[in-house]
Amino acid sequence: MEQTASELAVLLDGSVAGNPEVRVRRLAKIESAGPGSVSFLANPEYEKHIYSTKASVVIVASDFAPSAALPADLTLLKVEDPYRAFARLLEAYDAILKRKEGVHPTATVDDHAVVGEGCYIGPGVVVEHGAVIGDRVELHAHVHVSRDARIGDDTVLHSGVRVLDRCVVGQSCTLQAGAVVGSDGFGFAPKDDGSYAKVPQTGNVIVEDHCDIGAHTTIDRATLGSTVLKKGCKLDNLIQIAHNVVIGEATVIAAQTGIAGSTTVGARCMIGGQVGIGGHLTIADGSKIAAKSGVSASLIQEGLTYQGNPAVPVKQFQTFQIALRRLVRMPLTERLEAIENALPAPQHPTR
């Protein structure tokens, strides 16, 4: 990748302030960039770095006005949204790095599998009987696509991904290293002798188009029917999605969250890290759940923010936390009195 500032301006619908012919070859963070690099400034906390950066080009907001002298050889590329513009550059750079098409000699592709045009199938990949691989798919080293699974066009499966029997991954998805789609749901029935009988998990997982799944995230197949990630879902690393869960369109979930079986999460939800959500619940569209919250009952009102364990609307949680801090600072006798006043009156049985 080597482009001039003026070429980048055309790509990003921006304007150049400085040398339009300066050439850049790499992308870098503003605080550590060197000559020949392009970086960006979107967060005001990083503005201090623009006055000392070694980058050749920095993407800034169209209304950016420096508060001190800029490096003499720095060129600014002014755009409406620097963060989004830099993301477009990253996409273009990633496209350059795409693997060349072809099948590595150590890959195993069953004669009854279908592989589309322009695919890259890396070392140690296994594609089993009946699997269908779309066009321009990338299967990196040691990916395993099991029987009758389907992978949509332009999807990338990074090293060690498993897409197991009959599961479906849509178009333009990215699965990071070690993700597992279609592992057995956690289904066991107690027996009279205290042991457990395995309940067969006969369903599958459907991941719709434009979903991203993080490293070592696991999505369990349904007992019956399908576990579903709808279009545009974004899952971070180390997430557990249990059997028969449905996650709505464009929902984003941060790392180490777990969702128990048969829960339905609405569209456009934002779920923080280490959230635990119980089984057979409903989470309304547009819900936001703060990190480390525990959800043990359905959240049925759309668009609210929740926090705590059990999760409650965030204002209620904050009120409780303020009251708790005040309580801790009280003298012991006042504290006991306050607690007694807050408790409901005891109910005495009638004689």
Query: Domains of the chain: which residue ranges?
Result: 3-96, 102-313, 319-344
pLDDT one digit per residue (tens) for the chain, 351 residues: 689 999 999 999 999 999 999 999 999 999 999 999 999 999 999 999 999 999 999 999 999 999 999 999 999 999 999 999 999 999 888 777 777 899 999 999 999 999 999 999 999 999 999 999 999 999 999 999 999 999 999 999 999 999 999 999 999 999 999 999 999 999 999 999 999 999 999 999 999 999 999 999 999 999 999 999 999 999 999 999 999 999 999 999 999 999 999 999 999 999 999 999 999 999 999 999 999 999 999 999 999 999 999 999 999 998 888 877 877 788 877 777 777 776 666 666 655
Residue 347 is which amino acid?
Q
Looking at 3.10.330.10, 3.40.50.10490, 3.40.1390.10, 3.40.50.2000, the CATH number of the domain 3-96 comes to 3.40.1390.10
Please list the alpha-helical segments (H only) found in 218-286. Answer: none
Looking at 2.30.110.10, 2.160.10.10, 1.10.630.10, 2.60.40.10, the CATH number of the domain 102-313 comes to 2.160.10.10
Q: According to the model, what pLDDT value does residue 320 have?
A: 82
Same fold, 3-96 and 102-313: no
Residues with catalytic roles: 243
Q: Inter-axis angle of helices 332-342 and 314-329, to 10 degrees?
A: 140
Rounded Cα distance between 59 and 9, Å, is: 10
Q: According to the model, what pLDDT value does residue 348 have?
A: 61
Structure-block tokens of residue 239: 């997430």
Rounded Cα distance between 87 and 77, Å, is: 14
Q: How far apart are the first and last CA of the chain?
A: 88
Q: According to the model, what pLDDT value does residue 333 have?
A: 78
Rounded Cα distance between 216 and 292, Å, is: 20
Query: E strand or H helix at 340, and its extent?
Result: helix 332-342
Query: E strand or H helix at 79, and its extent?
Result: strand 75-79
Can you give the pTM of this predicted structure?
0.81
